[in-house]
Amino acid sequence: MQITSEQVQAQVPVTILRLTGDVDGSNYRDIISRAHELYQEGARNLLIDLGAVPFMSSAGLVALNNIALSFNGKETPDVDEGWRAIRAVGDAESAGMQGRVKLLNPGPRVAKVLEQTGLLSFFPVYDDQATALKSF
């Protein structure tokens, strides 16, 4: 797993977090940590590029949900609490669309997981970076 980030200027500053490789139990904490570092450094609008992520496990879903909650000023469940963190992902669907964290280019397998778990109703998803940046 490789994690990189860059700051770009749209209508507002947007940080792009690019993930490369599978997102699973071996690295989801690293993704959460990097996103939290970005938030501490002042990032408030985050575009997560999933174009190079061929597979995402439930741990990856926990990471996405945790990041979105923190960027929207909400309490995040302890990711080490297992089922509580998984249930929080399920709660995202009933919370409605949030606007601080958006997803870019999820591949077919990842998009299917997002759809099956209801997270497509929580995350705005874009196929191209220019359109995604204009949405902030």
The full set of domain ranges for the chain reads 2-134
Cα gap 33→66, rounded to integer Å = 10
What CATH number should be reported for the domain whose range is 2-134? 3.30.750.24
In this predicted model, which residue has the larger pLDDT, 35 or 82? Answer: 35
pLDDT at 108: 96
Neighbours of 9 (CB within 10 A): 8
pLDDT at 122: 86
Give per-residue pLDDT as tens, 12-51. Answer: 999 999 999 999 999 999 999 999 999 999 999 999 999 9
Mean pLDDT of 82-95: 56
